[in-house]
Chains A and B, each alone.
Chain A
Amino acid sequence: MGEKDIYRHDVIVIGGGLSGLRAAIEACDCGADVAVVSKVYPLRSHSVAAQGGINAALGNSPEAKNDTWEKHAFDTIRGSVYLADQDAVEVLCRQAPETVLELEHWGTVFSRDHEGKIAQRPFGGADVPRTCYAADRTGHNLMNTLFEQASYRGITFHNEYFVTSLVVDEEICRGCIALNLRSGKVHAFNSSSLILATGGYGMIYDHSTNSLINTGDGMALAINAGAQLKDMEFVQFHPTTLYGSNILISEGARGEGAYLVNSEGDRFMARYAPQSMELAPRDIVARSIMKEIKAGRGFKDGYVHLDLRHLGADIIKERLPGIRQIAMDFAGLDPVEVPIPVQPGQHYSMGGIDVNIDGETGVKGLYAVGECACISVHGANRLGGNSLLDTLVFGRRTGRKACSESNDGHVPILKEVMTREIQRLQDLINNKGEGFAPLMSEIKKTMFDRFGIFRDEADMNEGLRSLNDLGQRYKQVSVKGSGKAFNQSLIRVLELGYMVDTAEAVALSAIERKESRGSHFRTDFPDRSDDLYLKHTIISTDDKLQRSIDFSPVKLGLFPVKGDNYQ
Chain B
Amino acid sequence: MIVRIQRGKGERFDDYDIEVNAGMTLLELLFRIQENIDQTLAFRYSCRGAICGSCAILANRRPVLACKTTLSRVTNLKIDDHVTLPSSAKLPDGGILLEPIPKLPVIRDLVVDWEPFFNEYRKLEPVLKNSDHPEKEHLLGKDKSRELEKYTNCILCALCWSACPVVSEVDGYPGPAALAKLFRFYLDPREPKSTKRLSVADNEAGWWACDFYSNCKKVCPKGVPPNVAIGRARKLLEDEEVEK
Contact = CB atoms under 8 A, between A and B. Distances in A.
B49 A326 contact: yes
Given A480-B40, A486-B109, A46 B46 contact: yes
Interface stretch (B137-145, B167-175, B233-241): B137-145
Contact of A112 (B128, B141, B190): B141
Nearest to B191: A107
B52 A48 contact: yes
A386 interface: no
A30 B83 CA distance: 48
Interface string B43-65: 11111111111100000000000
Contact of B52 (A49, A107, A116, A135): A49
B149 A486 contact: no
A482 interface: yes
A151 to B, nearest CB: 6
Nearest to B156: A43
B155 A115 contact: no
Interface in A40-59: 40-41, 43-46, 48-49
Contact of B46 (A212, A247, A326): A212
**Most chain B CB atoms below 10 A, which of A182, A486, A489:** A486
B50 to A, nearest CB: 6
Contact of B108 (A46, A48, A485): A485
Contacts of B40: 480-483, 489
B148 A40 contact: no
B53 A43 contact: yes
A247 B152 contact: no
> Size range of the interface on A?
35 or more
B145 A211 contact: no
A140 B51 contact: yes
A40 B54 contact: yes
Interface in A102-121: 104-107, 109-112, 114-118
A276 interface: no
Interface string A339-370: 00000000000000000000000000000000
B53 A485 contact: no
A145 B52 CA distance: 15
B39 A116 contact: no
A118 B140 CA distance: 8
Contacts of B141: 112, 116
A263 interface: no
Contact of A118 (B45, B134, B137): B137
A79 B53 CA distance: 34
A107 B195 CA distance: 15
Contact of B138 (A105, A325, A488): A105
Given A101-B137, A211-B47, A486 B130 contact: no
A195 interface: no
Given A107-B127, A109-B149, A111-B145, A101 B136 contact: yes
B46 A486 contact: no
Contacts of A322: 51
A149 B127 contact: yes
B221 to A, nearest CB: 9
A429 to B, nearest CB: 12
B130 A330 contact: no
Contacts of B54: 40-41, 44
Contacts of B126: 148, 151
B42 A488 contact: yes
Given A486-B111, A489-B39, A329 B50 contact: yes
Contacts of A148: 126-128
B103 interface: no
A105 B51 contact: no
Contacts of B232: none
Interface string B120-163: 00100111101001101111111001101100110110000000
Interface string A153-167: 000000000000000
Contacts of B138: 104-105
9 contacts: A43-B155, A44-B44, A109-B188, A112-B142, A137-B153, A151-B126, A211-B48, A480-B40, A483-B40
Given A107-B128, A117-B137, 19 more contacts: A44-B44, A44-B47, A48-B47, A105-B128, A109-B188, A112-B139, A114-B142, A118-B137, A134-B149, A135-B149, A152-B127, A211-B52, A212-B48, A435-B39, A481-B39, A483-B108, A485-B42, A486-B107, A488-B34
Closest 9 CB pairs of A and B: A107-B128, A116-B139, A437-B35, A480-B39, A489-B39, A486-B42, A152-B127, A148-B127, A486-B108
Interface of A: 40-41, 43-46, 48-49, 101, 104-107, 109-112, 114-118, 134-135, 137, 140-141, 144-145, 148-149, 151-152, 182, 211-213, 245, 247-248, 318, 322, 325-326, 329-330, 435, 437, 479-483, 485-489
